[in-house]
A and B are shown apart, each in its own frame.
Chain A
Amino acid sequence: MFEYAPAPESRDVVDIKPSYGLFIDGEFTDGAGTPFKTVNPATEEVLAEVATASQADVDRAVRAARKAFGAWSALPGSERAKYLFRIARIVQERSRELAVLETLDNGKPIREARDVDLPLVAAHFFYYAGWADKLGYAGYGPDPRPLGVAGQVIPWNFPLLMLAWKIAPALACGNTVVLKPAETTPLTALLFAEICRQAELPPGVVNIVTGAGETGAAVVNHPDVNKVAFTGSTEVGRIIARSVAGSAKKVTLELGGKAANIIFEDAAIDQAVEGIVNGIFFNQGHVCCAGSRLLVQESIAGDLMEALKRRLSMLRLGDPMDKNTDIGAINSAEQLARVRELSDIGEAEGAERWSPACALPERGFWFPPTIFSGVAQSHRIARDEVFGPVLAVLTFRTPAEAVEKANNTAYGLSAGVWTEKGSRILWMADRLRAGVVWANTFNKFDPASPFGGYKESGYGREGGRHGLEAYLDV
């Protein structure tokens, strides 16, 4: 392996304040709850203290959103579009600052924050800006109406990107929002609040309330919220689905996954190896659609595993701010404990564990890229979402067996197929019960492409024309 000189990104491009308040009605205000600290997971250094929104604070935010809804929804779509275009532009202008802040707060490699998250954030606002004055052409009637106030709760794996997925379509359709970022990654959302001010977005159209699960529950259960959008675990998704029962709230849920990445013997092996690595080690495996189950055709399993292990030995794990880093830090101590626990269970249940020789930094939350082979379908590492850099490898002989195994999960978010045979790709794509099928590629995202799951991976789609439906009264 080549030695690389360190190539650290400068953290001076971002000015982190010692403490942050809530963003309600266009103003930063204090929260009534006990403030919490957000840390850099790569160093455990405290980055800032952040306000916790109480029930009363959430009330205030919902009231502000309700008040703003009338004028915002009455604006011509072309005017709403211009606000969203402004936001997209400011995101591009401040992209480096946002990327650095995201990496510091989340632990993901700066290369990914810079090259994946931020470009997609800007693209998402740009895309939905264009819809704001074309809703009558979207197939939902000549003049589809917004729902009202949207309560949105997002996860920590792609903090700003998930914010964009939620806020851009909501605003384009004429809704106003109260958004709660994850408690371990609130900083880019609060910087986004500043961007809303720079864009002169009318007060109350976007409100950001920070806090933990209790704050999220207050947002979701607020009686004056018309729409609930959640991305996160299936466990919390169930609680939300239960809590909105009997209400008139429209709900979209983007939940967990246990995607099968299926490699046929005729696949282009080098490309497939890159796809497997991208599928499970991108963003430390903190990806709901991660290809966490590798299904390899038996005839090539030996060669493929060898190539995969060789490739894993080249991955650079370490300082997320280094531009050469491939694998950053696990987002939190809590998540690290879960990854460790499930991996230990994997070993205890009889699967064979392998990681490349890989020194872990002393401070911070770290887990090496890990492969389990000899995995049975009944093993928990083949069934539970690990949400970490852990790959479970199974084999198959026939396409029918691959389909059977791939679909043998309560989830249905994504799947991957690698083969040079076109008809087989289409045959597989027809039968895989998953919302996104990547053929000869993996983990690709685009604002024009609908994303969302089957079965217990949730319901509703984000992205594309389909993503509008979640925010329209149709």
Chain B
Amino acid sequence: MSKTERDAAKARTAKARAGKARAVKEPVTEMPVTEMPVEETPAAGGPVATALVAEAPLAQAPASGTVAPDVPAAGAGRESDGQRAGRLSVRKTYKLYIGGAFPRSESGRSYVVTSSTGGFLANASKASRKDARDAVSAARKAFAGWSGATPYNRGQILYRIAEMLESRRAQFAAELADAGTERAGEAVDAAIDRLVWYAGWSDKISAVAGSANPVAGPYFNISAPEPTGVVAVVAPDDPLLGLVSVVAPVIVTGNTCVVVASERAPLPSITLAEVLATSDLPGGVVNILTGSVKEIAPWLAAHMDVNAIDLTGVADEDLAVTCEQAAAENLKRVLRPSAPDWSADPGTRRMTAFLETKTVWHPTGL
């Protein structure tokens, strides 16, 4: 059995599993997708407002399980395209993901994404400073609702993302294979499992990171973790497992984020955005920018309404220093670059890096 066949077979089993899972009734209503009204786009004026109009209404994005596992639904310009039964496939335009919508870059720029073997895959959007600022506004707007949601609710939504990802396993496996990921199917499995793992943390991290403090006086005193706010994330080049491994720990605790996707392999991140958009994740909780890391990351690092930055995916040392220096201006929490083994147990570090401890005192007495 070839690798592709193995992946396809796995995907069929996965589809069957997903089908069963769907039959189980959810006990709690999940949070509805809040679509970002285009009119309210911050600093809307002229070209931006039009740029933010999503061309494909979110509600019509493919539902779980409807994608045939061996035929990528919204096929990229991948090399195998357009050869099936003489039919020319309908390609997907890869755009940004901001505030729950899929706008092109307001700059109108794009860049060519090629496969690991050099073939043309797509023209990805090349995000600008303005896109980054729009994304930060969307993330800030989403913060109150997302951080105020119950942990149970956030956990279910992360689990829902895993479900949606599972249902598109074959599509991701194909995209990852194009991007040069070895054992692409296993990478998708690991990404799904990681989401499930983090989903469970939503209502447990407080128990682990918080405390009841026995102070020397008649006071009730308790410390609990709270999300830091808006987090900028420079994702690593591992286009799915790495991406999920940096985004899930940020959002599960209630932060919202602006992600700069892998510059080399950005396409799976936008396909992941389709998964996020159909997982009851409120618009703006995760915003994804594709383009030049060197261009966008410093803007995010310097943005005064960003509370923290994860530089994990910054490979260029000088750029990392520039970003960390810019981050000092409003004392952002900085997670410095690293090259973790994404298959290892992640621990709690990526969650606690973007948590604040709040301590509340109250006198006891009659």
Contacts and interface: CB of A to CB of B under 8 A. Distances in A.
Interface stretch (A36-44, A160-168, A197-205, A443-451): A443-451
B321 A446 contact: no
A425 B363 CA distance: 12
Given A139-B208, A436-B361, A459-B333, A245 B216 contact: no
Interface in A420-458: 425, 429, 434-441, 444, 446, 448-452, 454-458
Contacts of B331: 234, 237-238, 241, 253, 255, 455-459
Contacts of B328: 238-239, 241-242, 245
Query: Among B320, B324, B330, B362, which residue has the most Cβ atoms of chain A within 10 A?
Result: B362
A454 B221 contact: no
A433 to B, nearest CB: 8
Contacts of A139: 208
A246 B216 contact: no
8 contacts: A123-B216, A238-B331, A429-B358, A429-B360, A436-B360, A436-B361, A448-B215, A448-B216
Contacts of A452: 357
A379 interface: no
Nearest to A474: B349
A449 B215 contact: yes
Interface of A: 123, 139, 234, 237-239, 241-242, 245-246, 253, 255, 410, 425, 429, 434-441, 444, 446, 448-452, 454-459, 461, 464-466, 474
Contacts of B361: 436-439, 441, 444, 449
Nearest to A253: B331
Given A245-B328, A456-B330, A459-B333, A446 B358 contact: no
B365 to A, nearest CB: 10
Interface string B331-366: 101000000000000000100000011111111000
Nearest to A141: B347
Nearest to A458: B331
Given A245-B325, A437-B358, A448-B221, 19 more contacts: A123-B216, A241-B324, A246-B321, A429-B360, A436-B360, A436-B361, A438-B361, A441-B361, A446-B213, A446-B215, A446-B217, A448-B216, A449-B215, A450-B211, A450-B213, A454-B356, A455-B330, A459-B331, A464-B211
Interface string B288-329: 000000000000000000010000000001001100110111
A257 to B, nearest CB: 13
B223 interface: yes
Nearest to A241: B328
B359 A246 contact: no
Contacts of A446: 213, 215-217, 219, 221
Contacts of B362: 425, 439-441
Q: Which 10 A-B pairs have the closest CB atoms?
A: A241-B328, A245-B324, A246-B321, A446-B215, A242-B328, A439-B362, A245-B325, A448-B213, A449-B213, A437-B360
A315 to B, nearest CB: 23
Contacts of B217: 444, 446
A425 B86 CA distance: 68
Nearest to B307: A455
A61 to B, nearest CB: 26
Contacts of A464: 211, 213, 223
B214 interface: yes
Nearest to A234: B331
A434 B360 CA distance: 10
A44 to B, nearest CB: 36
Contacts of B320: 246
Given A448-B213, A449-B223, A458-B331, A242 B360 contact: no
Contacts of B208: 139
B221 to A, nearest CB: 5
A87 B5 CA distance: 69
Interface string B182-215: 0000000000000000000000000010010111
B357 A435 contact: yes
Contact of B359 (A238, A245, A436, A459): A436
B219 to A, nearest CB: 7
B324 A441 contact: no
Contacts of B211: 450, 464-466
Nearest to A246: B321
Contacts of B325: 242, 245-246
Nearest to B321: A246
A420 B358 CA distance: 21
A88 to B, nearest CB: 13
B356 A435 contact: yes
B251 to A, nearest CB: 18
A415 to B, nearest CB: 10
Interface in B245-304: none
Contacts of B324: 241, 245-246
Given A246-B317, A425-B362, A444-B219, A238 B329 contact: yes
Given A245-B324, A434-B358, A441 B213 contact: no
B353 to A, nearest CB: 10
Given A139-B208, A245-B328, A246-B320, A461 B357 contact: yes
A451 B317 contact: no
A110 to B, nearest CB: 22
A437 B356 CA distance: 13
B69 to A, nearest CB: 41
A440 B363 CA distance: 7
Contacts of B333: 459
Contacts of A425: 362
B219 A450 contact: no
A450 B328 CA distance: 23
B219 A435 contact: no
A462 B299 CA distance: 31
Contacts of A439: 360-362
Interface string B62-96: 00000000000000000000000000000000000
Given A429-B360, A440-B363, A455-B331, A449 B221 contact: yes
Contacts of A438: 361
A474 B350 CA distance: 11
Contacts of B330: 410, 455-456
A436 B358 CA distance: 6
Contacts of A234: 331
Contacts of B317: 246
A95 B211 CA distance: 31
A79 to B, nearest CB: 25
A435 B216 contact: no
A449 B330 CA distance: 26
Contacts of A238: 328-329, 331
A171 to B, nearest CB: 21
A440 B57 CA distance: 50
B146 to A, nearest CB: 14
